[in-house]
């Protein structure tokens, strides 16, 4: 459901896909080709949430902000299932693994945050880094093979969003 909060109504590009069970509230902007999957919550009640072109927000993810900390996702970002993003910046082409938590931090271009990682407030990671652990650290740059896999995952979800936008519809009991 797409909801106004106060004076702010989400801006959803006509080619974006928002699943019927997702909640998109307030100061949220979804760019062309972006997708928000089942049971996600994007709550832009304090600061803006910006989801860049061709980015995907997978099932059960929660995105929120904090005063002074908008959440901004670049282009072609993949956010895995059950992620929490809170007042952070995620650069183009990055992948946030399933179950990760990213607080008021910065994730560099084409970086990979591992599944279950906790990226604390104030952390900053450069481009093409592997980011893992509790708290998260970056032991090394991504390999060319890992970069290829990150890009492939984004393309798969871009294709899926096109399929779902045209081929899925709610079914109501009679």
Q: pLDDT digit string (tens) for 94-134?
A: 999 999 999 999 999 999 999 999 999 999 999 999 999 99
Residue 53 lies in a domain: yes
Q: pLDDT digit string (tens) for 36-45?
A: 999 999 999 9
Query: Please, which residues have CB within 8 angstroms of residue 66's CB and are 6 or more apart in sequence?
Result: 46, 47, 86, 87, 104
First to last CA, the chain: 22
Domain count, the chain: 1
Query: Please, which residues have CB within 8 angstroms of residue 171's CB and are 6 or more apart in sequence?
Result: none
- Dihedral-angle region of residue 58 (phi above 0 means left; psi in -120 to 50 means alpha; beta otherwise): beta
How high is the pLDDT of residue 167?
84
| Residue of 103, 102, 107 whose CA lies nearest to 90 | 107
CA 87 – CA 106 distance, rounded (Å): 9
Residue 73 lies in a domain: yes
How high is the pLDDT of residue 162?
85
Average pLDDT along the chain, 174 residues, taken 10 residues at a time: 96 96 98 98 98 98 98 98 99 98 99 98 98 98 95 89 82 60
Residue 173 lies in a domain: no
What are 89-94's contacts with CB under 8 Å, separation 24+? Answer: 91/127, 92/52, 93/150, 93/151, 93/154, 94/150
Residue 128 lies in a domain: yes
Contact 148, 130 (CB under 8 A): no
Give me the CATH number covering residue 141: 2.160.10.10
CA 56 – CA 72 distance, rounded (Å): 13
Residue 37 lies in a domain: yes
How high is the pLDDT of residue 127?
98
Residue 174 lies in a domain: no
How high is the pLDDT of residue 173?
58
How high is the pLDDT of residue 172?
64
- The residue range of the domain holding 157 is 2-167
């Amino acid at each position: 459901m797409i909801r106004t909060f106060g004076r702010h109504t989400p801006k959803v590009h006509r080619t974006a896909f928002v699943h019927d069970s997702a909640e998109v509230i307030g100061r949220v902007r979804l760019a062309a080709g972006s997708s928000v999957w089942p049971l996600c919550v994007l709550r832009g009640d304090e600061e803006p949430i910006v989801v860049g072109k061709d980015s995907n927000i997978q099932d059960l993810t929660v995105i929120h902000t904090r005063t002074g900390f908008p959440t901004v996702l670049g282009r072609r970002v993949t956010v895995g299932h059950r992620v929490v993003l809170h007042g952070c910046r995620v650069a183009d082409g990055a992948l946030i693994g399933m179950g990760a938590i990213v607080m008021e931090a910065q994730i560099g271009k084409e970086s990979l945050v591992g599944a279950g990682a906790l990226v604390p407030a104030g952390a900053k990671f450069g481009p093409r880094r592997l980011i893992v652990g509790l708290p998260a650290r970056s032991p090394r740059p991504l390999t060319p093979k890992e970069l290829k896999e990150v890009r492939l995952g984004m393309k798969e979800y871009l294709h899926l969003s096109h399929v779902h936008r045209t081929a899925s519809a709610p079914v109501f009991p009679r």
